[in-house]
Chain A
Amino acid sequence: MSDIKRLTEKECYEYFKEYNTPDHVIAHCEAVSNTAVTIAKELNKHGFNLDVELIRYAGLIHDVARVEDHHEIIAADMLEKAGFHDEAAIVRVHMRYDFNEFDKLNETDILCLGDRVVKEDSYVGIDDRVDYLIHKKGENPERTEKLLEKKSETKLFISEIEKCIGRTLDSLFTLTLDNMLKQVEKPARYIGEERNIVRKDVNDVDVRFAFAFPDMYEIGMSYMGLQILYDIVNKRDNLYCERVFAPAPDMEQLMRDNHYPLFTLETKTPLQNMDVLGFTLQYEMSFTNILNMLELAGISMLSKDRSESDPLIIAGGPCAFNPEPLADFVDAFIIGDGEITLPDMLEKLAEAKKSGISKQEFLKSLADIEGVYIPAFYDVVYNNNNTVKEYIKNWDGAPDVARRAIEEDIDKLSFPVNNIVPIIETVHDRAVVETFRGCTRGCRFCQAGMIYRPVRERSKKSIMDIAAQQLENTGHDELSILSLSTSDYTDFEDLAVDLTKYCKDRDVSLSLPSLRLDTFSFKVLEEIQGYKKSGLTFAPEAGTQRLRDVINKGITEEDIYSAVEQAIELGWRHVKLYFMIGLPTETYEDLDGIAEIAQKVINIHRKSGIGGRFNVTVSVSNFVPKAHTPFQWVAQDTTEQFKEKHDYLSNKLKIKGVRFNYHDDAISTCEAIFARGDRRCAELLMAAHKAGCKFDGWSEYYQRDTWQKVLNEWSMDYRFYNERQRDYSEVLPWDIIDSGIKKDFLKEENDKATKEMITKDCRYGCVGCGINSRVNCSRGGIYE
Chain B
Amino acid sequence: MNSYIIYFSKTGYIKYTSHLDMLRLFKRAFRRSGIELKYSCGFNPHPKMSFGQPLSLGYESTAEMLEFETDKTYSRDYLVDQLESSTPEGIKITDIGEITAESRTVAASIESAEYIATFPVSYYSKDFEKIVNDYLDQEEIITEKKQKKTKQLVETDIRSKIRSISTNINDDNRLVLNMLLDSGSKSNLSPELVIKTFVDFSDIKCNRYDVEVTRNKLNLPVDFPIQRL
Whether B31 pairs with A188 at a CB distance below 8 angstroms is no
- Interface size bucket, B side? 35 or more
Report A-chain residues with C-beta under 8 Å of the C-beta of B88: 193-195, 197, 423
Whether A30 pairs with B125 at a CB distance below 8 angstroms is yes
Report B-chain residues with C-beta under 8 Å of the C-beta of A531: 43
Chain A residue, CB-CB nearest to B16: A187
Set B12, B89, B124: member contacting A12, Cβ < 8 A: B124
Shortest CB-to-CB span from A266 to chain B, Å, is 11
Q: Is A604 on the interface with B (CB-CB < 8 A)?
A: no
Whether A475 pairs with B122 at a CB distance below 8 angstroms is no
Whether B57 pairs with A187 at a CB distance below 8 angstroms is yes
Whether B28 pairs with A475 at a CB distance below 8 angstroms is yes
Shortest CB-to-CB span from B59 to chain A, Å, is 10
Query: Which one, B69-77, B96-104, B108-116, B202-210, is touching chain A?
Result: B202-210
Shortest CB-to-CB span from A17 to chain B, Å, is 10
In the docked arrangement, what's the CA distance between A4 and B205, Å? 34
Shortest CB-to-CB span from B214 to chain A, Å, is 13
From 171 to 230 in chain A, residues with beta carbon under 8 angstroms from any chain B beta carbon are 175, 178-183, 187-188, 190-195, 197
Whether B14 pairs with A183 at a CB distance below 8 angstroms is no
Shortest CB-to-CB span from B68 to chain A, Å, is 14
What mask results when residues 468 to 479 of chain A are scored 1 for a CB within 8 Å of chain B, else 0? 000111111100
Set B17, B27, B43, B208: member contacting A423, Cβ < 8 A: B17
Report B-chain residues with C-beta under 8 Å of the C-beta of A175: 209
Whether A30 pairs with B32 at a CB distance below 8 angstroms is no
Chain B residue, CB-CB nearest to A180: B209
In the docked arrangement, what's the CA distance between A507 and B124, Å? 59
Q: Is A406 on the interface with B (CB-CB < 8 A)?
A: no
Q: Is B30 on the interface with A (CB-CB < 8 A)?
A: yes
Most buried by A among B16, B45, B173, B209: B16
Whether B58 pairs with A182 at a CB distance below 8 angstroms is yes
In the docked arrangement, what's the CA distance between A510 and B97, Å? 36
The A-B contact count (CB < 8 A) is 88
Q: Is A10 on the interface with B (CB-CB < 8 A)?
A: yes
From 168 to 184 in chain B, residues with beta carbon under 8 angstroms from any chain A beta carbon are 173
Q: Is B13 on the interface with A (CB-CB < 8 A)?
A: yes
Whether B27 pairs with A475 at a CB distance below 8 angstroms is yes
Q: Is A401 on the interface with B (CB-CB < 8 A)?
A: no
Whether A181 pairs with B58 at a CB distance below 8 angstroms is yes
Shortest CB-to-CB span from B127 to chain A, Å, is 10
Chain A interface residue count, Cβ-Cβ cutoff 8 angstroms: 38
Q: Is A425 on the interface with B (CB-CB < 8 A)?
A: yes
What mask results when residues 36 to 48 of chain B are scored 1 for a CB within 8 Å of chain A, else 0? 0001000101000
Whether A193 pairs with B32 at a CB distance below 8 angstroms is no
Chain A residue, CB-CB nearest to B210: A179
Instruction: A175-B209, A187-B58 are known; give 6 further A-B pairs, CB within 8 A.
Output: A9-B123, A194-B88, A195-B32, A472-B32, A475-B32, A507-B39
Give me the interface of A with B, judged by CB distance under 8 Å: 9-10, 12-14, 26-27, 30, 121, 175, 178-183, 187-188, 190-195, 197, 421, 423-425, 471-477, 507, 531
The 5 closest A-B pairs by CB, nearest first: A475-B28, A475-B31, A187-B16, A191-B13, A182-B209
Give me the interface of B with A, judged by CB distance under 8 Å: 12-14, 16-18, 21, 24-25, 27-32, 39, 43, 45, 57-58, 86-90, 122-125, 173, 205, 207-210
A-B contact pairs, 30 of them (CB 8 A): A9-B123, A9-B173, A10-B124, A13-B125, A30-B125, A179-B207, A179-B209, A179-B210, A181-B13, A181-B16, A183-B209, A187-B57, A188-B16, A188-B21, A191-B16, A195-B29, A423-B21, A423-B88, A424-B17, A424-B18, A425-B21, A425-B24, A471-B31, A474-B28, A475-B27, A475-B31, A476-B28, A477-B31, A507-B39, A507-B45
